[in-house]
Amino acid sequence: MPSKEIKVNLDKAKETAKVERVFVGRKNEELEIDIHIVHNARKTISKVLVKVVLYDNATFRFNGRIRVLKKAHLSEGSLRLQALLIGDNCRVFAEPALEIENNSVKCFHKVSISKLNEEEIFYLISKGLERDSAIDLVVQGFVRAQP
């Protein structure tokens, strides 16, 4: 059973943390994850990438927090959440927070929640694929794409 909480403390200079997760929700599944990263030393780096695909009535809850404390000079933190909502009744709740106490750092987060691109689906169907297979291909592309 994958954990619902990921906590990373970057306490030594130049430590790097990379968190990558893919979630697929179907039917009435309720997925959730909390990701907390604390930068407490200089030149630490964190990279978080979460991809979510939801079908049917699945829901996803995300609590993200990047905290950069006073000692974490020149650190970099990034958080990306990409969600693809395919079902009619899906729901995403996301709170990606940034708490920054040092001004020499570079931190950002990006969240995008989107639907299927019907033009892409149409293109694949016009090439002879069934709709479900077309959706599968698009989802695979979504999950594999590197930011």
Partner 1 sequence: MENFKADNYKYGFSYPEKPAYKLEKGLNEDTVKGISRIKNEPLWMLSYRLRAYKTFLSKKLPLWGADLSGLNFNDLYYYLKPYQSNADTWESLPKDIKETYDRIGIPDAEQRYLAGVKAQYDSEIVYGSLLAELKKKGVIFLSMEEGLRKHPKIVREYFGKAIPASDNKFSALNSAVWSGGSFIYIPKNVKVELPLQAYFRINAKKMGQFERTLIIADEGSFVSYIEGCTAPIYSQDSLHAAVVEIFVKKNARVRYSTVQNWSRNVYNLVTKRAFVYEDAVMEWVDGNLGSKITMKYPSVYLMEKGARGVILSMALAGKNQFLDAGGKAVHLAENTSSQIISKSISKNGGGSNYRGLVKVCANAKNCKSSVVCDGLILDKKSYTNTFPVMDVAGKNAQVAHEASVGRVDEEQLFYLTSRGISEQEAVNMLVNGFIEPIAKEFPMEYALELNSLIALEMEGGVNA
Binding site for partner 1 (CB under 8 A): 70, 83, 85, 88-115
Shortest separation between residue 84's beta carbon and partner 1, angstroms: 11
Distance, in Å, from the CA atom of 73 to the CA atom of 75, rounded to the nearest integer, reads 6
Least distance in angstroms from the C-beta of 102 to partner 1: 7
Minimum Å gap between C-beta 103 and partner 1 is 4
Q: Do residues 119 and 85 touch, judged by C-beta distance below 8 A?
A: no
What backbone phi and psi angles, to 5 degrees, belong to 36? -120, 125
**Residues whose CB falls within 8 Å of the CB of residue 4, separated by 6 or more in sequence, listed in order:** 32, 33, 34
Q: Nearer to partner 1 by C-beta: 99 or 127?
A: 99
Q: How far is the CB of 70 from partner 1 (least distance, A)?
A: 8
Which lies closer to partner 1 via its Cβ, residue 15 or residue 62?
Answer: 62
CB of 128 to partner 1, least distance (A): 26
What is the number of alpha carbons within 13 Å of residue 26 lying toward its C-beta? 0
List all residues 6 or more positions away from 112 whose beta carbon is below 8 Å from its beta carbon.
81, 82, 83
34 φ, ψ (degrees, to nearest 5): -115, 130
Is the Cβ of residue 13 or residue 113 nearer to partner 1 in the bound state?
Answer: 113
Cβ proximity to partner 1: between 25 and 96 the closer is 96
Q: Which is nearer to partner 1, 53 or 107 (CB)?
A: 107
